[in-house]
A and B are shown apart, each in its own frame.
Chain A
Amino acid sequence: QKEVEQNSGPLSVPEGAIASLNCTYSDRGSQSFFWYRQYSGKSPELIMSIYSNGDKEDGRFTAQLNKASQYVSLLIRDSQPSDSATYLCAVTLNSGNTPLVFGKGTRLSVIA
């Protein structure tokens, strides 16, 4: 059974702080890792993708991957109230051809 685990939260951070979201996965064959943001009533929106060990930065977002520990994280710097949403970690074996397996999501609340 392929599993993706996330802390469901809610995670509350003050505006301007760093939000840290974590995810572990069970299938060692997983090759592609994604973070999606989902606002209430909306479909998931891709924030970051990461495929190799290490850090990947895009603006205020940094994804970190450690395949040995089967661990993925997302850091959001200078958090804004507009970042308040549910963040979904998703993994797959072969990007594009195999389905995503989602974690339960972490609800982030950024307090102004």
Chain B
Amino acid sequence: SAVISQKPSRDICQRGTSLTIQCQVDSQVTMMFWYRQQPGQSLTLIATANQGSEATYESGFVIDKFPISRPNLTFSTLTVSNMSPEDSSIYLCSVGAGAYGYTFGSGTRLTVV
């Protein structure tokens, strides 16, 4: 199954700033998915990133707040912009891996102060 390297693993950021999270996959994948996991909650899909096209955002998430890049079939970034304490969460990227299900990056634990 695919292996995902996600960076950074954690960060503490000042409100009003931005953080870019990177995910590198060891194989080419068509779709990459970005999730948010708020404290004590399950995973909520932010957007689907398809190489060569604009990401598709879920209700409640907008491109200005969570811009996504997908420059090639092995890499994607998610930026959390103009952060507030409510953005404190774990952010995860994921790819489908056929019969192996979906694999996840190790997550980015973001704290906004």
Contact = CB atoms under 8 A, between A and B. Distances in A.
Main DSSP-derived SS at the A contact region? loop
- A-B pairs, 8 with minimum CB distance: A96-B96, A43-B104, A46-B101, A102-B43, A104-B42, A99-B33, A43-B107, A49-B101
A49 B42 contact: no
Interface in B24-79: 30-31, 33, 41-45, 48
Given A96-B31, A100-B33, A46 B42 contact: no
B43 A96 contact: no
A104 B38 CA distance: 11
Nearest to B45: A99
Q: Is the interface of B mostly helix, strand, loop or mixed?
A: strand
A54 interface: no
Interface residues of B, number: 24
A105 B44 CA distance: 12
B92 interface: yes
A105 B94 CA distance: 18
Contacts of A92: 102
Interface residues of A, number: 21
Given A49-B101, A99-B94, 7 more contacts: A43-B92, A96-B31, A96-B98, A100-B43, A100-B94, A104-B41, A104-B42
Contact of A100 (B102, B105, B107): B102
Contacts of B105: 43
B102 to A, nearest CB: 6
Nearest to A89: B42
